[in-house]
Amino acid sequence: MSCEHVERELDAYLDRELETESSSAIRDHLNACASCRRQVAAREALSRLVRAMPYYSPPDRLRARVSAQGKPSASMRRVFTWAAAAALVVSVGGGLSLWRSASTGSDAVATVANEVVDSHVRSLMANHLFDVQSTDQHTVKPWFLGKLDFSPPVVDLAPIGFPLVGGRLDYLGGRPAAALVYQRQKHTINVFVWPTSDPASDVKEEALRGFHVRRWVRQGMSFCVVSELNDDDLTEFARALQAS
């Protein structure tokens, strides 16, 4: 099965509308294709966002006006469009408030893990891995000066096969974070760094939506590593970064 075929059937696959044989063929393809797995992760992230949005019923007066007019006029369609946009803005704002209020505990950890995976997927799909592209840590680290209220540690792990290739600004929980980009052969590794008051911790491992995640806290900084790289290599990378 080709990537083009999977893309055409992806919505039906996620909605479980395909026959068993077709679903099985797509699962087999996803197991072997990192690019299509990223598409699945992006669709699932969007689906979670939509499901999280509260439903806003139109006021009775607006319903009555629409019913009285029959087919909505152009002006009324614009009203609905703006109402939907306003609802989305309010919902997203509420979602950020919920993230901030859940700043401790297992729910917060799960939220952060989902956010970093979403950011990793967006960076690959939007072809926006870099704001600064360089293999020189002395170029990448100074680039963040004045753009963040902290200085992320930047190291080059090229000697052990994980070269630094650049960095960018990202956002987690409504605040800026540094995203450092490394590579292992053709695999991309995103390292998200932001300040925290949490105590230091060892590397914790987890898998989420087809991606491997490693996270730890060191010297007042949270580190979260995301990649589709295999478990052993990503663990090696995380331990080397933690020890640097």
What are the tens digits of pLDDT across the range 219-230? 999 999 999 999
Query: What percent of the chain lies above the pLDDT cut of 70?
Result: 71
Segment of 29-33, 58-62, 234-238 carrying the highest mean pLDDT: 234-238
Q: Are residues 154 and 141 in contact, defined by beta-carbon separation less than 8 angstroms?
A: yes
Per-residue pLDDT band for 244 (boundaries 50, 70, 90) equals confident
Q: CA–CA distance from 201 to each of 149, 154, 204 (Å)?
A: 23, 19, 8
Q: Which residue has the higher pLDDT, 77 or 215?
A: 215
Confidence tier at 45 by pLDDT (50, 70, 90)? low
Task: Say how far apart CA 101 and CA 195 lie, in whole Å.
Answer: 17
Question: According to the model, what pLDDT value does residue 95 have?
Answer: 43
Alpha helices in the chain (DSSP H): 3-14, 20-32, 34-52, 60-69, 74-101, 105-125, 137-143, 231-243
Residues 182, 191: contact at Cβ < 8 Å?
yes
Round to whole Å and give the CA distance between 240 and 244: 6
Pairing between β-strand 175-184 and β-strand 187-195 as defined by DSSP bridges: antiparallel
What are 152-182's pLDDT values in tens digits? 999 999 999 999 999 999 888 777 899 999 9
d(CA 33, CA 28): 9
Per-residue pLDDT tens over the stretch 48-57 = 555 555 555 5
Confidence of residue 73 (pLDDT cuts 50, 70, 90): low
Beta bridge partners of 168: 179
Query: Which comes out higher in pLDDT, residue 91 or 203?
Result: 203
Collect all residues with Cβ–Cβ distance below 8 Å to 12 and sequence separation of at least 6.
18
Task: Give me the sheet containing 187-195, strands edge to edge.
Answer: 132-133, 164-172, 175-184, 187-195, 221-227, 211-218, 201-208
Determine the pLDDT at residue 9: 86
Of 20 and 97, the structure prediction assigns the larger pLDDT to: 20
| 3-state secondary structure at position 103 | coil
For the entire predicted model, the pTM comes to 0.58
Comparison of pLDDT for 152 and 8, the residue scoring more:
152
Q: What is the mean pLDDT of the segment spanning 12-37?
A: 80
> What is the chain's mean pLDDT, rounded?
78
Percent of the chain at pLDDT above 90? 34
pLDDT tier, 97 (very low <50, low <70, confident <90, very high otherwise): very low
* Distance, first Cα to last Cα, the chain: 43
The amino acid occupying position 122 is R
Tell me the domains of the chain and their CATH numbers: 3-51 (no CATH), 60-99 (no CATH), 104-243 (3.30.200.100)
Residue with the larger pLDDT of the pair 89 and 237: 237
Mean pLDDT value across residues 126-136: 86
Confidence of residue 111 (pLDDT cuts 50, 70, 90): confident
Q: What is the pLDDT of residue 122?
A: 83
